[in-house]
Amino acid sequence: GRVADKESWKIYAEDRLMARLGSGAANRRALGSLLGAAAESGGRQAAFALLRVHAAHDPESPSRPRNICRHESLLGAKPSTSSMLIERKQGENRFVAWFTGAAYPCANVFKPILFDGSFKPLWTAYDYHGPDTEDGERYWRERLEANRALRRSPAKADENAAALSAAQAALSTIVDGLVGEPAPYAESALTKAREQTLAIVSSWDIRR
């Protein structure tokens, strides 16, 4: 059809005002400028770091750095509702979903959910059973309040970046110990991993 012959449907379908206010294109360019270095570093820690970036360089607007990790602004910008990373190895019917369950990935650990034919969350202090529960929203609001000092000051989170990275690495070690084993995961191994995950997440959340 006529639209299909155009270079892109984007300019015909998007709300230009909202797109400009949301700065999606600028954020995409800024993120793109970081992908090369992240690819060289490799691994999930580099991917987590990308989602936590503040003041990324936009090559088309160098004077206006972009926060991939969204925070409030005086112009009405809102924080990310939550952040997620899906990790899957080629050729395997297994993956790991990492999610924050909270705004500000710069101040929250990504929690793992394993999949080997069914979902197996490792963080147990959360209700995963759909929209009828208020548990997810309660956690989100608690974390938003705990991190209120970061709302318009992303740099404050960078002061704790090393500690956050260490907590995230500890969770990665737990996951790697499981995914290296044949599926399905042993229940005893899952129980131990859940206890360790709960301890790490709780220890991090109580800090702030």
Is the pLDDT at 114 greater than 70? The verdict is: yes
What pLDDT score does 97 carry?
A: 95
Phi, psi of 161, rounded to the nearest 5 degrees: -60, -40
Domain of residue 135, residue span: 73-208
Residues 120 and 165 in one domain: yes
Q: Enter the tokens of residue 170.
A: 């500890």
- What would the pLDDT profile of 17-75 be if each residue is shown by its tens digit? 545 545 666 666 656 555 666 666 678 888 888 888 775 556 556 556 566 677 766 55
Q: Could you say which of 40, 68, 96 is where a domain stops?
A: 68
- Residues 78 and 64 grouped into a single domain: no
Domain boundary among 68, 95, 112: 68
| Whole-number Å distance between alpha carbons of 151 and 106 | 11
Helical axes 43-51 vs 24-41, angle rounded to 10°: 160
Q: 132 or 120: which carries more pLDDT confidence?
A: 120
Q: Give yes or no: residues 52 and 108 share one domain.
A: no
Residues 45 and 132 in one domain: no
In angstroms, rounded to a whole number, what is the distance separating the alpha carbons of residues 144 and 81? Answer: 10
CA-CA distances (angstroms) from residue 185 to 62, 85, 92, 199?
Answer: 48, 21, 14, 20
Do 56 and 81 lie in one domain? The reply is no
Counting the structural domains of the chain, the total is 2
The mean of the pLDDT values for the chain is 78
Residues 62 and 100 in one domain: no
pLDDT at residue 1, rounded to an integer: 46
Model pTM score: 0.77
Highest mean pLDDT among 96-100, 129-133, 184-188: 96-100
SS3 content of the chain, % helix, strand, coil (to 5): 50, 10, 40
Q: CB–CB of 112/98 below 8 Å?
A: yes
The number of CA neighbours under 13 Å toward the Cβ of 191 is 3
* Cβ atoms of residues 141 and 79 within 8 Å: no
- Residue 99 CB contacts under 8 Å (≥ 6 apart), including other chains: 82, 83, 84, 85, 110, 111, 113
Instruction: Say yes or no: 46 and 123 in one domain.
Output: no
Domain boundary (68, 93, 117) is at 68
Name the CA dihedral angle for 168, 143, 82, 61, rounded to a multiple of 10 degrees. -90
